[in-house]
Structure 1
């Protein structure tokens, strides 16, 4: 995942880690040190700070909520929230371009998966413009892709947000006792904001830089 961020020159990276993370911290220190001359070029490991109580990160949304201070300090144009538990190659700049072109508040990366495996994933239903109109978290009967009854669109758990949209959504989720992006934040934002899906086989050839 770090390669996917660093190669397209996304240089401001916080890596949120849980318990038993010492070997990962050592790996990042040895293999992913970047220039400390430029203030916004860094890969920094962030363990749970437990400022709000004794709990570790309770879910994906809670992990980012506990570190909102970092986002508010840097005030980027866009925040990329990506999971680090998969191995793949992706040009994130193409997803950023898609996000900008559609003036999206949130963009969700997606891949087609076999319909009979859809119950293991969050399943996205987009309209013809790729705006998400429905999201089901691990449904027993996932909705197939129109025209392709053997597959469905699965969220990769990779998100782009307008910064203020993310901040507001996480504060609301925390007030509601919600902890997860896929289960809590995404379904509600679909109803109130412009949320699009970026299909990773749908490449966008041109990119323009933004501050991430």
Structure 2
């Protein structure tokens, strides 16, 4: 079941809202529309090159929306929000729907979290990181460690669960909504996200994104959502 901790601003119109740091809840049902990037394709360079952003956004991310929109017409999913599709598809073991909906949502969140970044963490996030990890740098180190441990394809997520921060690694289209936790920061560790720029140096890529691109102030606003 969706709750206030998970059904929040990371999909649909979130990309447009991210630049000002205030997320919006997306409720639109199928056909699902891929949001636009909240910055130019070269804005994340050199951490992520314009070439990688272009391929990642226009080929991979768009592809998940295209496939999802080909799967849901005439099904009960057609009248659901993207978040609801994710939850229901997992409950019903509809792998194709779940994978494409999850990846569409994950990438919405991924691009949005870099808008306006990098910024220092908010006081609330600093306090939570100190309480649960011993500080923001140990928190980042844990994300790098968990991200490196994701076998093959997947994601590493900083999440809030019942008021406590945690880092989880999820395979393939693994999605925090489906896990019942609130995403705070999410890093894509599929090879298409970094290989052109970083080759096989996944851990260096994760660390660079956390240090150089994440809008940590906006991430702190997601605490308690």
Q: TM-score, normalized by length of structure 1?
A: 0.29
- Higher helix fraction (1 or 2): 2
**TM-score, length of structure 2 as denominator length:** 0.28
